[in-house]
Amino acid sequence: MFVLAKSMPVSLTKIPQIFFLILVGLSFLGSPSQSQAMPYFEDGFLGLTKKELHQKIGTPHAIRARKAALRIFSYYSPQDWEKYFSKLVSPENGEDVYTYEKNGIQVRYSFVYTPDLREQKDFPTLYVKRVEIEFTPAVPIETIPSLVKEFVPPTQPDAPVFRSNLWVLIFKGPPSQEATLLVKEHNKEQWDWSLAYQLFSLNGIPNYVTGQSPIDRLEFTIQSLPQIRKTRPYTHEPFLNPYSPEFAKRPTEPPKKQKSIPLPQYAD
């Protein structure tokens, strides 16, 4: 609202020019959801918009749609997805897929999106919330950094690392307040969210992990270290960082004790 003081008269012919300059200035001030997104962590992917991801690594080789919660997918060409299937499901249901081959290993990147619901529109901006990298065939855990250049695990022996019988979870770097946008959990504002690398094995993580333990899938995710330490002590077992020098110096797996077969005792 403008007030025209008597001591500073303004010509009525200049008022349209003033409003024009104001509108031009406002055009450069977008809303937070419209401003250019940046990756939240050092992986370089989490937090990028779908458009920015395509500008960074090119057009996807395929689009896949997940069936329910199972790891069963239908794959489509980008042309068929854009022309037909994208109109049948929500936009975030289509995961961009890029497949490469390195050292005789097929490395498949899949980018999972989440919409920015703050925008209140039919087709909100999509942000990368998870990156799934699958290896065919499975590869030793120690070789993954040479296959995935974006995967730079910590080397400190006391880095936050956990394990279960199916995965190894590695945290790296400080938390990001902006990353809360990509988290879909109740009371997410009360926790800090950080970059976490999760390595899966279809055949299970062995009791004694070595550098040769096979891994089928690596995920770049956003998880909360304080939440895990406070609420999940029984499902997340603390573990020595498998990429630390101390891990490589561990002795070999001790031989398993052979259990003797009990012999039946017969009465005379």
pLDDT in tens, 65-96: 987 667 889 999 999 998 888 888 887 889 99
Q: Is it the case that residue 27 has pLDDT exceeding 60?
A: no
pLDDT at site 22: 45
pTM over 0.85: no
pLDDT at 23 over 60: no
Strand ranges (DSSP E) for the chain?
62-66, 73-76, 94-102, 105-115, 126-140, 161-163, 167-172, 194-200, 214-223, 237-238
Spatial CA neighbour of 195 closest among 136, 261, 247, 151: 151
| C-beta atoms surrounding 258 within 10 Å | 6
Q: What is the DSSP string of 134-203?
A: EEEEEEEGGGHHHH-TT------TTS-EEE-SSEEEEEES---SGGGGG---TTGGGS--EEEEEEE-TT
How far are the Cα atoms of 50, 92, 109, 199, 240 from residue 64, in angstroms, in the given order?
15, 11, 11, 21, 35
pLDDT (tens digit per residue) in 154-178: 999 999 999 999 999 999 999 999 9
Tell me: the pLDDT tens digits for 183-238?
Answer: 988 889 999 999 999 999 999 999 999 999 999 999 999 999 999 999 999 999 99
